[in-house]
């Protein structure tokens, strides 16, 4: 009897231990509006989901995981998952990204007074001559003797130089996915029977199939030839992507 009771308790403990935990949350803007289509990434598992039209999302995870939230026009943020976030919903607010405003040159208005307007609109002759002389001087080549070392002065030898660290790519996969959606249009994917909410997920599926994108991410540039390669990769991967859905 004791052995049977012990087996039942062990089984219950194992089921609870192996049960998958999920993180539920809601994403809003600074003015408390629900934000749809926010990409939520579990950095540990690399799982990615999109928030629905009410700003809600659900993603598998556990306490200690870190979530990254990305949406065009808003600042990217990382959110650490605590034990409380597993037992109750987590509320996250995104801050709208600051936009640079083009510099506006303010010109002085005409006053009607010839002396004042001539000073404001026309630079003095001495200033114009100085600018002209500086332009001529800057266009001339420097005498190499100016930069030559003095007798007995130490001169740093010339070398090939060295690299410090790894050069960071200009794009990541999320930037590439957003560009592909922009360049090809959502209709391209919906014509392939890909639901609008799964377009980004499908792009990641194609990229995971071995699509070469090292130079694209490095330089942050996707050429027309790269777009053609991606479309060929889509035709190869579309059938296997649909297969799990048709088997349900």
Structure confidence at residue 6 as a pLDDT band (50, 70, 90) = very low
Tell me which of 62, 94, 126 is where a domain ends.
94
Residue 144 lies in a domain: no
Tell me which of 67, 94, 121 is where a domain ends.
94
Instruction: Give the residue with greater pLDDT, 91 vs 166.
Output: 91
Strand partners, 22: 60
Residue 84: the pLDDT is 84
Residue 206: pLDDT above 80? yes
Question: Considering its fold, how many domains does the chain have in total?
Answer: 2
The pTM for the full model equals: 0.37
Mean pLDDT across 97-117: 62
Residue 164 lies in a domain: no
Structure confidence at residue 208 as a pLDDT band (50, 70, 90) = very high
**Domain containing residue 54: CATH number:** 2.60.40.10
CA 69 distance to own-chain centroid: 10
Residue 104: the pLDDT is 55
Reported for 198-202, long-range contacts at CB under 8 A and 24+ positions apart, including other chains, are 200/39, 200/48, 200/50, 201/48, 201/50, 202/241
- The answer to whether residues 39 and 48 touch, using CB atoms and an 8 Å cutoff, is yes
- The answer to whether residues 69 and 39 touch, using CB atoms and an 8 Å cutoff, is yes
Q: What is the mean pLDDT of the chain?
A: 78
pLDDT, one tens digit per residue, over 132-187 is 777 776 666 655 555 555 555 544 444 454 445 556 889 999 999 999 999 999 99
Mean pLDDT across 224-248: 83
Residue 44 lies in a domain: yes
Residue 163 lies in a domain: no
pLDDT, one tens digit per residue, over 14-30 is 444 445 688 999 999 99
Phi and psi at residue 172, in whole multiples of 5°? -120, 180
Residue 5: pLDDT above 80? no
Residue span of the structural domain in which 54 resides: 20-94
Residue 101 lies in a domain: no
Q: DSSP class of residue 188?
A: H
Mean pLDDT across 62-89: 89
Residue 142 lies in a domain: no
Tell me which of 77, 94, 111 is where a domain ends.
94
Residue 56: pLDDT above 80? yes
Residue 185 lies in a domain: yes
């Amino acid at each position: 009897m004791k052995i049977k009771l012990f087996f039942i308790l062990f089984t219950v403990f194992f089921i609870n231990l192996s049960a998958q935990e999920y993180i539920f949350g809601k994403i809003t803007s600074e003015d408390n509006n629900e934000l749809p289509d926010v990409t939520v990434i579990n950095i540990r598992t690399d799982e990615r989901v999109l928030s629905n039209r009410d700003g809600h999302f659900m993603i598998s995870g556990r306490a200690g995981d870190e979530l990254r939230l990305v949406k065009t026009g808003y600042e990217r943020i990382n959110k650490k998952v605590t034990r409380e976030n597993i037992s109750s919903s987590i509320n996250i607010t995104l801050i709208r990204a600051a936009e640079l405003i083009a510099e506006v040159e303010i010109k002085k208005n005409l006053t009607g007074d010839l002396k004042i307007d001539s000073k404001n609109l026309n630079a003095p002759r001495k200033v114009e001559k100085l600018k002209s002389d500086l332009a001529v001087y800057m266009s001339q080549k420097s005498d190499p003797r100016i930069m030559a070392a003095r007798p007995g002065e130490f001169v740093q030898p010339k070398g090939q130089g060295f690299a410090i660290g790894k050069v960071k790519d200009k794009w990541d996969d999320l930037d590439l996915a957003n560009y592909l959606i922009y360049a090809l249009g959502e209709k391209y994917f919906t014509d392939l029977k890909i639901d609008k909410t799964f377009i980004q997920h499908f792009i990641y599926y194609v990229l995971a199939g071995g699509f070469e994108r090292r130079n694209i991410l490095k330089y942050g540039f996707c050429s027309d030839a790269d777009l053609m390669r991606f479309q060929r990769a889509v035709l190869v991967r579309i059938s296997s992507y649909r297969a799990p859905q048709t088997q349900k």
